[in-house]
Amino acid sequence: MTAFIALLHRDLHVVRREMPSFLLRVVLNPLLFTFIFGFVMPRMGIIQHGYTDMLLPGILGLSMTLSSMQAVSLPLVIDFGWSKEIEDRLLAPISITGVGLEKIIVGVIQAIIAGIVVMPLAWLLMRVHLHLSLTDAINFVLIALLSSWLFAAFGMVVGTVVAPQQISLVFTVLLAPMIFFGCAYYPWAALHVIPWFQYAVLLNPLVYANEGFRLALTPAMPHMPLPMVYGALIGFSILFTWLGLRKFESRALD
């Protein structure tokens, strides 16, 4: 346990040292999108003001999940690639699985930091009226933790499978469909007008994160049923954690 805490402390120290660049990477795109679609366009009358209520959960979901994914996958690609820094970590008196779990936890923590920074800034621009009950608040915390864990584990899968020279291509090919088909900018329930598409997007784990934030932050708006959200988030988290740790151990032993 002492070795695990030491590794975690080291990674968090790196995050703290690189906090300005981390915050810029996390905040810039969500705030630009929020400013245009949540502040400028409603005042121009191009979109309805109610759209901002639906958009806030999606912006938060994208910020947290992509932050946790990138926080795990990119360092792993570097560690297993040219820097070979992973070899130093594997010398610690801890199992290979423990090293992998520490990486996932760092990703979860970075996602929480992203959420803490992005949500109040987006809320100030959009002026969304949030009236959260105790149940909504509990759902919000659980959804945030599960979503962060899911995409940190997914980041481990990506980081241990992709070669360093292919990582930019993978992110380009992978992230664009995930974002646009992830129900960040529209509610999943509204897709009933295109039934085949509504069922096709269920393969995208980002859908459940965004719909989870939607049911927690704006429960009065159309959203995915709660059991469906929790079932998928837990199921995907277990699947990606198992796959990620398995691939991590395989790469570490190569």
* pLDDT at position 240: 95
Which of 142-151, 176-185, 201-210, 236-245 has the lowest average pLDDT?
176-185
Res. 131 pLDDT band, cuts 50 70 90 = confident
Res. 50 pLDDT band, cuts 50 70 90 = low
* pLDDT at position 74: 81
Cβ atoms of 249 and 98 closer than 8 Å? no
Over residues 61-71, the pLDDT tens digits come to: 888 888 888 88
- Give the 3-state DSSP-derived string for 14-61, with helices as H, strands as E and coil as C: HHHHCHHHHHHHHHHHHHHHHHHHHHHHHHHCCCCCCHHHHHHHHHHH
Res. 160 pLDDT band, cuts 50 70 90 = confident
Kindly tell me the sign of the dihedral angle through the C-alpha atoms of 48, 54, 57, 59: negative
Rounded to whole angstroms, the maximal C-alpha distance in the chain is 61
Instruction: Tell me how far apart the alpha carbons of residues 222 and 225 are, in angstroms, rounded to a whole number.
Output: 9
Name the residue type at position 163: A
Share of the chain above pLDDT 70, in %: 85
Which of 1-15, 59-73, 82-96, 145-159 has the lowest average pLDDT?
82-96
Cβ atoms of 210 and 77 closer than 8 Å? no
Instruction: Tell me how far apart the alpha carbons of residues 232 and 209 are, in angstroms, rounded to a whole number.
Output: 9
- The pTM of the full predicted model, rounded to 2 decimals, is 0.86
Q: Average pLDDT for residues 141-156, to the nearest whole number?
A: 93
Instruction: Tell me how far apart the alpha carbons of residues 203 and 194 are, in angstroms, rounded to a whole number.
Output: 16
Both structure tokens of 7? 């590794």
Closest listed residue to residue 11, CA positions, set 142, 123, 120, 109? 109
| Lookup result for tokens 């329930």 | 189
Res. 175 pLDDT band, cuts 50 70 90 = confident
* pLDDT at position 200: 93
**φ/ψ (deg, to 5) at 83:** -80, -30
Both structure tokens of 12? 């968090």
Which of 90-104, 176-190, 236-250 has the lowest average pLDDT?
90-104
